[in-house]
Amino acid sequence: MLRHLDQDDLPRHRGIGFTEMTAPSWHGTAGGYVNHKCRCEGCRAAYTDMQRAYREANREKIAAKRRADYEANRERILAWRNIYRSNDGVERTCCSSLSRSRHEPRVSR
């Protein structure tokens, strides 16, 4: 399912002394996206395919982790959800003051 580009499809880079050379062998791979921070079309497509394959292969593992995270932080999640949904004088801008915590609600006066 992972896509790899042929050497002819890869972008060409300029090397030392401005001599033209072919793109490095990691282009068009998920490793190029993650390790080399390359955002060319081939690397992005390979990384997307890798993520999709991982999610499909580990669907139950991911769901169990999400459930465990929710249960561990349930009170905090529900408290923030109630603050966000309420209309009793709490502003919904989370970054209105730099002196406050990023997610601390600001009370209107």
Give residue limits of the domains in the chain. Answer: 7-57, 69-109
Q: How far apart are CA 85 and CA 78, in angstroms?
A: 10
59: phi then psi, degrees, rounded to nearest 5:
-55, -45
Q: Model confidence at 86, in pLDDT bands (50, 70, 90)? A: confident
Question: For residues 91 and 48, which has the higher predicted lDDT (pLDDT)?
Answer: 48
pLDDT in tens, 15-69: 554 445 567 788 889 999 999 999 999 999 999 999 999 999 999 999 999 999 9
